[in-house]
Structure 1
Amino acid sequence: MSEPVRPAVSGARPRPRRSMAVCALIGAALMAAVDEIVFHQILAWHHFYDRSTLSVGLLSDGLLHTAELLGLVAGAALYADLRRRRGLSPAHARAGLVLGLGAFQLFDGVVDHKLLRLHQIRYGVDITPYDLAWNGAALVLLAVGGALAVRAARHAPSGRAAG
Structure 2
Amino acid sequence: MSSSRTSPVRPRRRNVLSGVLVGIGIAAFVDEVIFHQLLQWHHFYDKSTTAAGLFSDGLFHAFGWFAVVAGLFLFADLRRRSMLLPARWAGAILLGTGAFQLYDGTVQHKLMGLHQIRYDVPLLPYDLLWNASAALMILAGAVLLHRTRHDTAAAAGS
TM-score range, shorter chain: 0.7 to 0.9
CA radius of gyration, larger in: 1
Match of 1:141 in 2: 137
1:119-140 Cα offsets, whole Å, 9 max, x none, are 0000000100000000000000
1:29-67 Cα offsets, whole Å, 9 max, x none, are 001000000000000000000000000000000000111
Residue 72 of structure 1 aligns to which amino acid in structure 2?
Answer: V
Match of 2:105 in 1: 109
1:60-106 Cα offsets, whole Å, 9 max, x none, are 00000111111111111111011111121112111101101101100
Aligned length: 146
Distance 1:95 1:66 in 2: 24
For the residue of structure 1 that corresponds to 2:148, the secondary structure is helix
Match of 2:24 in 1: 28
For the residue of structure 1 that corresponds to 2:17, the secondary structure is helix
Offset at residue 20 of structure 1 (A): 1.1
The one of 50, 56, 61 aligned to 2:57: 61
Distance 2:139 2:128 in 1: 16
TM-score, normalised on structure 2? Answer: 0.88
For the residue of structure 2 that corresponds to 1:143, the secondary structure is helix
Residue 115 of structure 1 aligns to which amino acid in structure 2?
Answer: L
Distance 2:68 2:146 in 1: 25
Match of 2:33 in 1: 37
Between stretches 13-22 and 57-66, larger displacement belongs to: 13-22
Match of 1:71 in 2: 67
The one of 115, 119, 125 aligned to 1:123: 119
What is the alpha-carbon root mean square deviation over aligned residues?
A: 1.7
Mark the runs of 5 or more structure 2 residues left unpaired by the alignment: 1-6
Q: Which has the higher helix share?
A: 2
Mark the runs of 5 or more structure 1 residues left unpaired by the alignment: 1-11
